[in-house]
Structure formats: structure tokens, C-alpha cells
Amino acid sequence: MAEKIIRIGTRDSELALWQAHTVQKQLNDLGYKTEIVAVKSQGDLLLDKPLYELGITGIFTKTLDIAMINGLVDIAVHSMKDVPTALPSGIVQGAVLERANVSDIIVHKGSTDFLKTYATIATGSLRRQAQWWNKYPNHTVVDLRGNVNTRLQKLEDNTWDGAIFAAAGLERLSLKPATSEPLDWMIPAPAQGAMVVVAMAEDVFTLDALAQLNHIETEICTYIERQFLKTLEGGCTAPIGAIAKYNEKDDTIHFNGVLLSIDGKQKLVTEKTVDISEWKKLGFHAAQEILNNGGTELMRQIKEQLKM
């Protein structure tokens, strides 16, 4: 059994392959044999529709899930923010890798003077769109789809003033332009900047291997953020942001969460600091606070608008 080759399933985009190779190297360094199996996902094939119009949560993970259930691959590597909060039956979280940069950034064309006046900003994310409109209600937001390279090229080819990206994706591929600024005020997607590796629940050999890659602090913080998302019933599409950070000085977790209307006009926020011993229910309690303060009605409106 020690000779088993762990087959690593991945999408064939440059970023997905980078993530798969990162996991491969870590497993190889531990003495495991691996191979990479690239699979094209439906989310990569349907580039003409915004993700939320496709009505599918986990569109980027579904193809790999099926490949794993069918025994074609042993593990799948995902950007954790793309993974639905409920994994398919039989598939379990094997490891959460140490988190990279969690920030959203704006990539522009040399100046951010447009922030003071009027601008057209590109993003395919409802969360980024809603937070942008909340701060800049007179700006235009246009849809932007495709892998990182495609989106950077589209920004270049169009008259848009800027486009919003996750810093981690650009940094991992060494593609972060000098003409970019962090959006410190924007609350990231739950689990942004983290990579997760999933495997079949009964595959003890592979799960033992993956356990050695797990970063406990990242696992706890992303669990809190995803619990917040799940309790709000956001799926992948509602404008929901969440970030949990561990403070080792006083052994506490600090949490910020936000739910917005799609047009950005309504914004419900929660901020909490708790002792590390209370982490298991933090996301749930933070979401309940938002639901009780108008979030239930707001989620109903969002689902109606998106026909979720």
C-alpha cells in the first residue's frame, strides 16, 4: 500500500495547476508518489454567463468531485472559496493549506484618480460588486469572467478603469501588476486565499498523507468563515464576505462578516472577538446576529432576485 500513487485531480487553468503542483511537491517531500490528472470543468467552458446566472454552486468543483467518485483521481485541490459549504456524500476535507494573502485588490491602468469621480470597474463577483457599489454608488460595474490571465487581458483590451482580483491568485502566478492597490476596506470571500484538498472518506492511506499538510490556524479560521456563509445560506453567489483572524498574543479570534443587497444599498455587518475556546460556534452566532437584524429578509430578496 505504501507504493500507492496519489492521483491529484485539478482543473487545467494555470492557477489550478499551480495549486495542484504545490500539493504535489508537499506530498513528494513527505515521500509519497503522486501524479497530476487535469480535468476541464464546466465553469471553465461556460464563459459567456455570469456564475450566478448558471444557478450552480460549486461549478468549478463538480467535475473533479465526479472524477473522484468514479475513481479516476484520489484527491482534488481547490481554491477553498470555490467549494460549496456542504461537500458531496463520500467526499471529505483532507487538508487546508496555510493561507496566502486574503485581500482583494484593484488592478488599474496607472492611476486611481477615477475613484474620486466616475469609473467603470470589472468583476464577476456579486460580493465585490455589492461592496464596490456600497462605497462608490455612482460607478458602473461590468461582468468579468475567465481565468486570471484572461481577465487581465480583458482589462487591457477594454476601456474599463480597473478590475478587482484576489491578491492570492495573482501573487501565486507572479502576475500581480505594479498598477494595483489593496482594497483594505473590502471584506473578502469566506476562505479567500486558502487552498483545500479533498479525498474520499474511505481512502485512509490518502487521508493520512493529507493530514500532514493541514495548517490548523487556517483550518479554524476558514471553518468559522464557511460556517457563517452556510448559516446565511449563501451558497456561492450571495454578496457575503467573512474574515476570521487568530491573534496569538491573547489567544483570541477576531471575526468580521458582511451581507449586502445586490445593489450595495443595504449592508449588514458583524464584528466579534472571542476566546479561541469559542471558535466552533463563532460563525454560526455571527450569522444569527445578521439574520436577526434584517438578514433573513435580505437573503429572501437576494434569492428572489437570483431565483436561487
Q: Which residues are catalytic?
A: 82
C-alpha cell at 265: 444599498
Q: Which helix (H) or strand (E) holds 154?
A: helix 148-157
> CA 270, 275, 278, 283: dihedral to nearest 10 degrees?
20
Round to whole Å and give the CA distance between 246 and 225. Answer: 12
158 closest CA partner among 103, 104, 107: 107
* Sheet strands (E) in the chain: 5-10, 33-38, 75-79, 91-96, 104-108, 120-122, 140-142, 162-166, 180-182, 195-200, 240-247, 252-260, 267-275
C-alpha cell at 252: 483570541
Contact 278, 251 (CB under 8 A): no
> CA 296, 297, 299, 301: dihedral to nearest 10 degrees?
170
